[in-house]
Amino acid sequence: MTKLLNRTTQNFLDVIVLSLAFWLAVALRFDWQPGAEMLERHLVAWPYVIALEFVVLLAFRIPRFSWRYVGLREASRIAAAAGTSTLVLVGARVGATLLGDGGGLSRFAALPLGVLLINAALFVLGSTGLRASRRLVGEYVEREGRRPLSTAQLRTLLVGAGESGVAVAREMSRRPDLGMLPVGFVDDERLKIGTDIFGIPVLGTMEDLTRLAAEHAFDQVLITIANAPGHVVRRIETRCRELGLPTKIIPGLYEIVGGAVNLNRIRSVAIDDLLRREPVVLDEQSIADRVSGRVVMVTGAGGSIGAELCRQVCRFGPARLLLVERAENALFEIHRELVANWTNVQILPLVADVGDEAGMRQVFVRETPEVVFHAAAHKHVPMMEWNPGEAIKNNLLGTQVLADLAHTHGVHHFVMISTDKAVNPTSVMGVTKRIAEIYIQALSGRSRTKFVAVRFGNVLGSAGSVVPLFKEQISRGGPVTVTHPEMRRYFMTIPEACQLVLQAGAMGRGGEIFILDMGESVKIVDLARDLIRLSGFVPDEDIAIKFTGMRPGEKMFEELMLGSESAERTTHEKVFVARTAVRGLEDATAIVSRLGGLVGHAEPAEIRAALGVVVPEYNPQNRRDDDVPVAESSPPPALN
């Protein structure tokens, strides 16, 4: 009832404004002294003009717009409505002039052009102004209601005066409760210097930061550049740190839609920001064709990659999503998250081990998956050096079980998550992944299922990876342990990796090994120093960095292709495909069977020797049987 009353009141006000616009147009056209004949003509035409204009407003759905959030889109629709109604009135005038009966009724339709044009302008100004007034009042009330008791606000410099900066400035003006006072912008586009954006001046460029900081006494800096690359964030953060200015950022600005931005997400600059790359642009239609309306299985669903794959798959509306995970707690957490966020997707948690052939066969018979993303694996390099049999069981035999079932039950697409460590492997983890690649390539030649593998390196923030380890060491006061001062790795974020996995899977025709572009490599010691600085400490002074020596199975740098492979571009700029020789299925099956027979009774050295026979390029490094693996402190690779 209240909504109806409000809508009726708004319609009544629209009619009042239209009437005032009409009579003001008459008064202005005739210098406030219309003659008796003109007054009569407009008095008779008045209700018809207002009825026409209101009907046009309804046709353009303008009464449905919320007055509280009126903007340029609504103003342009009002202008279009005014133009449309004016064209109808001009047409009526022309018709009355051509077909008129002199002093008859047609004269009431022949309104002066001056009146019609002035009325159109006042129509737009009045209708837009009425709504803008409501918005201004609403924002004032909201702003005052949010104003904190304390008037202390941090003087904030905004870096980046583009569309994202404008959105941030607009939101900051509405949110005094955030305790931030925007003092000015800096932007490297010199033409903007001296202009005001949303009432905030553009003071200069980053080169002027030292002078501006002295003149304006900023308390903090906020990076508002949409999708700023990592090297840009690093340059800004370094410069601000030298000046003693805390630096914050709003992550994911490229996700801003329609100018809306959530300032509650403001946070300090993180290591992900310093390593940030351009966002992945997906061919979403090709992914939707593979995933939408299908039964999708994700193995290792509780892991870092598996969980993110589940989130990404849900975006494309699968008919059912099967979460396969043997770690009960991890499965509980991802299932709870997905059910809360994707109510339109049927999500089934399955406590299962991919190496359990009987159990997995039952799942395939009962649930009939059509697409499989195989992310279940043992991934920790030093741990698998100590437990090579377990690496074979999970990474190789588990993959064989899953791939054979996918083939038998007619799965459409099977995507295996591989690793850069499968290339010229120096570790048990890497060589078992390489043999798994060999097996699914061989099986692909005999199957209607499209089997593909996707290689990429380390991902930021995954469980057991270098960033969480460094953070833990910093929280304890150090030292931060790095294996070698020259060790380099490639990085990408978990969402980026998973998006590209989906893209590669959609491209696969069967038998390909896809390689993700990992960008530029990063020195691990530089990563450690960045994390120490971002934590508020000085490297080598507050927190020590200790070099521990390379660990079992580690490389100084990683590769994504074998020497015998060649990489070809695909239709996606960040996905390549490796062309390599494919073994026969009988040979691949015999290899897997022979290695599986060693599990449970062979010594680690014997298993590693057998792996070397299968993959001649396997070259164990830094391997001593008395080595004690330590927590992994190294990162990943890429395609240059």
pLDDT of residue 356: 93
pLDDT at residue 57 above 60?
Answer: yes
| Residues 383 and 362 reside in one and the same domain | yes
Beta-bridged to residue 480, according to DSSP, are 545
316 shares its domain with 263? no
Classify strands 247-249 and 267-268 as parallel, antiparallel or unpaired. antiparallel
460 pLDDT exceeds 70? Answer: no
- The answer on pLDDT for 624 being more than 60 is no
Whether residues 45 and 64 fall in one domain: yes
Same domain for 253 and 298?
A: no
Give the model's confidence band at 281: pLDDT under 50 very low, under 70 low, under 90 confident, else very high: low
Which tens digits make up the pLDDT trace of 223-280?
888 667 777 888 888 888 888 888 888 765 444 434 445 555 666 666 666 666 665 5
Is residue 532 in a domain?
no
Q: Check residue 225 and give its pLDDT.
A: 80
Based on the fold, state whether residues 126 and 162 are members of the same structural domain.
no
User: In angstroms, rounded to a whole number, what is the distance separating the alpha carbons of residues 630 and 278?
Assistant: 34
The pLDDT assigned to 263 comes to: 56
Instruction: Using alpha carbons, select from 525, 520, 521 the residue that is nearest to residue 483.
Output: 525
The answer to whether residues 129 and 187 belong to one domain is: no
Domain span at residue 230 reads: 154-269
End of a domain among 213, 241, 269? 269
282 belongs to a structural domain: no
Q: Which tens digits make up the pLDDT trace of 434-457? A: 999 999 999 998 899 999 998 877
Q: CB within 8 A of 363, min separation 6: which ones?
A: 297, 322, 324, 350, 352, 369
For residue 636, is it within any domain? no
Q: Are residues 54 and 115 in the same domain?
A: yes
What's the mean per-residue pLDDT of the chain?
80
Report residue 555's pLDDT band, with 50, 70 and 90 as the boundaries.
Answer: low
* CATH classification at residue 602: 3.40.50.720
Q: Is residue 535 part of a domain?
A: no
In the prediction, which pLDDT does 629 show?
A: 39
Claim to verify: residue 126 and residue 186 sit in the same structural domain: no
209 with 96, same domain: the answer is: no
Q: Which residues of 468-505 are buried (b: 16+ CB within 10 A; e: fewer)?
A: ebbbebbeeebbbbbbbeebbbbbbbbbbbbbbbbbbb
- Per-residue pLDDT at 278: 61
Which region among 8-12, 165-169, 630-634 has the lowest average model confidence (pLDDT)?
630-634
Q: Do residues 88 and 162 both lie within one domain?
A: no
Q: What is the pLDDT of residue 283?
A: 67
**Number of domains within the chain:** 3
Q: How far apart are CA 132 and CA 71, in angstroms?
A: 8
Task: Kindly state whether residues 255 and 296 are assigned to the same domain.
Answer: no
Q: Is residue 233 in some structural domain?
A: yes
Who wins on pLDDT, 530 or 386? 386
**What pLDDT is attached to residue 637?**
32
Q: Give dist(CA 321, CA 319) in Å, integer.
A: 7
Q: Are 181 and 63 within one domain?
A: no
Residue 373 · residue 417 · CB < 8 Å: yes
Query: How high is the pLDDT of residue 267?
Result: 66
